[in-house]
A and B are shown apart, each in its own frame.
Chain A
Amino acid sequence: MNDEYVLSQKFKIKGGDFSNAGRTSTSIKEILKEIGIDPSIVIRASIAVYEAEMNVVMYANKGMVTLNITPVKLHLKLEDEGQGIADIDQAMKEGFSTATHEMREMGFGAGMGLPNIKKNADRFKIASRLGEGTTLDIIFCLNKTGNK
């Protein structure tokens, strides 16, 4: 029963499309609010998916977010096609970044994204293949309320 989806939806993200960056996360936030997810989880999930969306826009050619909600779990899966990450341990360190000047002008690219996603999520998994792309699994437990 617990694996029954309450909601399952996919969203496409275009790499390099800075003017629309954040649009998907804004839509996801609206959906989470509408279906009555706990506000503290809505904020944490919105921050995590926004950081992840910015990473796709900044570093990948294209990507897809899959939002799956079951009665006990909110799962955001981000799959992108792009350059991938050479050293995941290094990428997870606060302050490590390979961002360009353009990305920094957008207010991003400070090496805070992945650590911030991990901090907000209840469970976080990252896998990457160099030259192919990166997959993130960002999971929030719904069967408890309040802070993480």
Chain B
Amino acid sequence: MTLKEIKEILRADVITGEDKLDIEITFAGGSDLMSDVLAFGKPGILLLTGLSNSQSVRTANIIDAKAIVYVRGKRPDDEGVKLAKEHGIPLLSTKFMMYATCGLLFSQGLPGVSDLS
């Protein structure tokens, strides 16, 4: 599904990357723990996280994540937004909590990262 569809499903705000909403997302993973993201993340992942400091963006960039959705209404700090713009990573924010965010996307057919292979 496209990032635009994800935005609509999650009723999310776009913080940066409005011009990249047509990118195709094929799988996602959710964690607040960046060490876990580094351990399970795969290139192309949509990262769902409640960690709103700039490390979320740095981690996403390291693993070649396609975009980040911040859950439970979190928004990244200014440094995070700046980094995301530099690296061309779209950032979205949804009011849904982690469980509901994952559930909504999964039920619409977006698999988890570990469900591949």
Interface residues of chain A, those whose CB is within 8 Å of chain B, are 19, 21-23, 25-26, 29, 39, 43, 46-47, 50-51, 105-113, 116, 119
Question: Which of these, B34, B49, B79, contacts A19 with CB under 8 Å?
Answer: B79
Question: Which of these, B33, B43, B61, contacts A107 with CB under 8 Å?
Answer: B33
Interface residues of chain B, those whose CB is within 8 Å of chain A, are 32-39, 43, 49, 51, 53-56, 58-59, 61-64, 79
**Given A108-B35, A110-B33, A112-B35; A50-B56 close (CB under 8 Å):** no
* Selected A-B contacts with CB under 8 Å, 11 pairs: A19-B79, A21-B58, A23-B58, A26-B62, A43-B62, A107-B32, A108-B33, A108-B55, A110-B36, A112-B33, A116-B35
Nearest chain A CB to B32 CB, angstrom units: 6
Contacting pair A26 B43 (CB below 8 A): no
User: Main SS of chain A's interface residues?
Assistant: helix
Contacting pair B35 A110 (CB below 8 A): yes
Contacting pair B63 A43 (CB below 8 A): yes
Alpha-carbon separation in the docked complex, A39 to B44 (Å): 13
Contacting pair A113 B53 (CB below 8 A): no
Nearest chain A CB to B83 CB, angstrom units: 8
**Given A19-B54, A21-B55; A51-B63 close (CB under 8 Å):** no
Contacting pair B34 A108 (CB below 8 A): yes
Top 5 A-B pairs, shortest CB-CB distance: A107-B34, A22-B58, A112-B35, A110-B35, A107-B51
Contacting pair A107 B39 (CB below 8 A): no
Nearest chain A CB to B79 CB, angstrom units: 7
**Given A21-B55, A50-B59, A107-B51; A43-B43 close (CB under 8 Å):** yes
Looking across the interface, which residue of chain B has its beta carbon closest to that of A22? B58
Question: Which of these, B39, B53, B62, B63, contacts A106 with CB under 8 Å?
Answer: B53
Nearest chain B CB to A137 CB, angstrom units: 19
Question: Which of these, B38, B49, B54, B61, contacts A51 with CB under 8 Å?
Answer: B38
Contacting pair B56 A107 (CB below 8 A): yes
Alpha-carbon separation in the docked complex, A119 to B56 (Å): 22
Looking across the interface, which residue of chain A has its beta carbon closest to that of B79? A19
Choose among B34, B43, B79 the residue with the greatest number of A CB atoms under 10 Å from its CB: B34
Nearest chain B CB to A48 CB, angstrom units: 9
Alpha-carbon separation in the docked complex, A55 to B59 (Å): 14
**Given A43-B43, A50-B62; A107-B35 close (CB under 8 Å):** yes
Choose among B36, B61, B79 the residue with the greatest number of A CB atoms under 10 Å from its CB: B61
